[in-house]
A and B are shown apart, each in its own frame.
Chain A
Amino acid sequence: MPEEVRAHITGVVFQVVAQAGSKVAAGDPILILESMKMEIPVEAPRAGVVRSIPVAEGQTVQEGDVVAVLE
């Protein structure tokens, strides 16, 4: 079942680490947000394959925005 991964903090996308099709383990960083002057990883909540990452580096995301979809 696809699972939406959401930003847990408002910030700017600093770096997209994974890409569509990447295999990730639980806890792997999918992308890194920049907020509070810190690089904050958004981790895979479980093992799976990244279906999509609907955000780009430099983009501002709000807390709760979908930043990746796992399947």
Chain B
Amino acid sequence: MGMRELVEELNRRRTRLAELGGAEAVARQRAAGKLTVRERLARLFDADSFVEIGAHATHHADHPSMAGRETPADGVVTGFGRIDGRPVCTIAYDFTVMAGSMGRTGETKCSRVREMALTKRVPLVWLIDSAGARIQEAAGSGWFASSGYLFREEVILSGVVPLVAAMMGPGAAGTAYIPGLADFVPMVKGTSHMALGGPPLVKAVVGEDVSSEELGGSRVHTEVSGVADLEVPDDVACLQAVRDYLSYFPSSNLAPPPDGAADDPADRRDDGLLEVVPDSPRRAYDMHRIVERIVDHGRFFELKPSWARNLIVGLARMGGHSVGIVANQPLHLGGALDVNAADKAARFVTLCDAFNVPLLFLQDVPGFMVGTKVEREGIIRHGAKMLYAVAEATVPKVTVIVRKAYGAGYYVMCGRAYEPDLIVAWPTAEISVMGPEGAVNIIFRKQIGAAADPDGERRRLVEEFRRMIGPYVSAGHAHVDDVIDPRETRPTVIRALELARGKRIERPWKKHGVLPV
């Protein structure tokens, strides 16, 4: 055969690969409201930038049920492309080929891509739409005993390059720990699920009858378990969310995050900031109203918005610079920290610190929750994770005390002792080991009991105590750097972030700390 005939044969093979798992399976994929794997990659990457590797891969299983079976690309499309001009690697499962199950050849491809991401220091994005391990190939101890390397390799990648696992279909068992180890996990509402064991296995092993949606749908993982970060309405929104997320991060931990356009004036003062915090220090308000007034163009990419709602975390830009925001939310549980809020903060702070993204803390925290329920849940252990993460973080840190800064809540929200590069207070700030009511009841218990009018005496003492915890007292001791007009928050934070750009902190050498997980 001459070269032209050989190229024709190559083109015939490529045409066949473009048909994925066949017309019928593709029609089922579309009927389920899902894009095909190649349509997804076309949207994920910049136009015409995707380079595929392993397209001609196929299964080599000798199990009788696999005889004569075709598995185009062996059920997973792998390669690299560009997102906003920067290289990104991908592993995208194809549900039209044996339900996107993980075959041996497919996994060889995935391993190759993980190695590319690691050695070239570029982010890795999984698009997961897979029934899990291909039982026809994995059953029996022969191959299984050497498998599982995918998770070990993912752990090695963690904190070196950004890892995104987009749930765009099922992710069962073998594919469920991929999101478990990833940095960012969006889930498509209605079509995606994840569970260590799918409904048939659950039925067989523990006898429970449950649908995949109830077991591990997007609502479960974005509102109850906290495993996923974001529920998105469809595939298109999911792929856009992946692109948006990555825009805040560098390609690897060796680089600073890319700057966006500084096209929102750094000295913009928003009068609305004077109206957000109610006059009564006990009244709730929505912390989002402050966040959106101080970040560039009001754009805030919130993570886990429906889980542990008493704490807000997310990404934004200020003066064009990427910044991670950790803010208490008085609207839920009064902003008090519980086990899930502490986990949410610890994870987010670790994420930002790993990738050189500065942190902004907005404090209005009445403390950690107390009582039998949270003690039994291990609030000390969970709170310790947040302490650990905030203390360990060496990225630029800026703290704004909006209102309450009570107890250990003040510490973990990057109080003065946690190396903030700047810490400022609004005039409404209350900084204290505990709130006035609690403190007065403990310190003056006898005096109140002996008073002719105990309630009146308590009120008088509370007012007296409240004057001791205001911002000018701590500013007078030079323990907060300044008291600011709320409208000065944006310019102040941006200047502090610019000061801290060259921040270097060296810690003593250690292999690693002992995580209080």
Complex interface bits, B328-364 against A, C-beta within 8 A gives 1, otherwise 0:
0011111110000000000000000000000000000
Are B333 and A8 within 8 A (Cβ)? yes
B169 contacts the other chain (CB 8 A): no
Tell me which residues across on chain B come within 8 A of A10, comparing CB atoms: 371, 373
Complex interface bits, B468-507 against A, C-beta within 8 A gives 1, otherwise 0:
0000000000000000000000000000000000000000
Complex interface bits, A1-21 against B, C-beta within 8 A gives 1, otherwise 0:
000000011100000000000
Main SS at interface, chain B: loop
| Chain B interface category by residue count | 10 to 19
A38 to B333, CA, bound (A): 8
A52 to B64, CA, bound (A): 63
Are A36 and B336 within 8 A (Cβ)? yes
A8 to B310, CA, bound (A): 11
A28 contacts the other chain (CB 8 A): no
Are A38 and B371 within 8 A (Cβ)? no
Complex interface bits, B425-440 against A, C-beta within 8 A gives 1, otherwise 0:
0000000000101100
Complex interface bits, B357-385 against A, C-beta within 8 A gives 1, otherwise 0:
00000000011010101000000000000
**Total contacts A-B at CB 8 Å:** 43
| Closest B residue to A32 using CB positions | B284
Q: A8-B333, A39-B283 are in contact. Are A63 and B373 (CB under 8 A)?
A: yes
Those of B207-262 within 8 Å (CB) of chain A: none
A24 contacts the other chain (CB 8 A): no
Are B366 and A9 within 8 A (Cβ)? no
A11 to B447, CA, bound (A): 26
Are B373 and A38 within 8 A (Cβ)? no
A10 to B372, CA, bound (A): 10
Are A38 and B331 within 8 A (Cβ)? no
A37 to B284, CA, bound (A): 11
Those of A23-42 within 8 Å (CB) of chain B: 34-41
B282 contacts the other chain (CB 8 A): yes
Tell me which residues across on chain B come within 8 A of A38, comparing CB atoms: 282, 284, 330, 334-336, 366
Are B438 and A40 within 8 A (Cβ)? no
| Closest B residue to A40 using CB positions | B334
Q: Chain A's nearest CB lies how many Å from the CB of B348?
A: 22
Tell me which residues across on chain B come within 8 A of A36, comparing CB atoms: 333-334, 336, 366-367, 369
| Closest B residue to A29 using CB positions | B284
Q: A10-B373, A63-B373 are in contact. Are A37 and B282 (CB under 8 A)?
A: yes
Q: A37-B282, A37-B366, A40-B284 are in contact. Are A9 and B437 (CB under 8 A)?
A: no
Complex interface bits, A29-64 against B, C-beta within 8 A gives 1, otherwise 0:
000001111111100000000000000000000010
Tell me which residues across on chain A come within 8 A of B369, comparing CB atoms: 9, 36
Given contacts A9-B333, A10-B373, could you give 14 more A-B pairs where the C-beta distance is less than 8 Å? Answer: A9-B369, A34-B282, A37-B334, A37-B366, A37-B438, A38-B330, A38-B334, A38-B335, A38-B336, A38-B366, A39-B280, A40-B332, A40-B333, A41-B284
Would you give 28 A-B contacts (Cβ < 8 Å), ordered by A? Answer: A8-B332, A8-B333, A9-B333, A9-B336, A9-B369, A10-B371, A34-B282, A35-B333, A35-B334, A36-B333, A36-B334, A36-B336, A36-B366, A36-B367, A36-B369, A37-B282, A37-B435, A37-B437, A38-B282, A38-B284, A38-B330, A38-B335, A38-B336, A39-B280, A39-B283, A39-B284, A40-B332, A63-B373
Which 3 residue pairs are nearest across A and B when measured between Cβ atoms? A38-B334, A37-B435, A36-B336
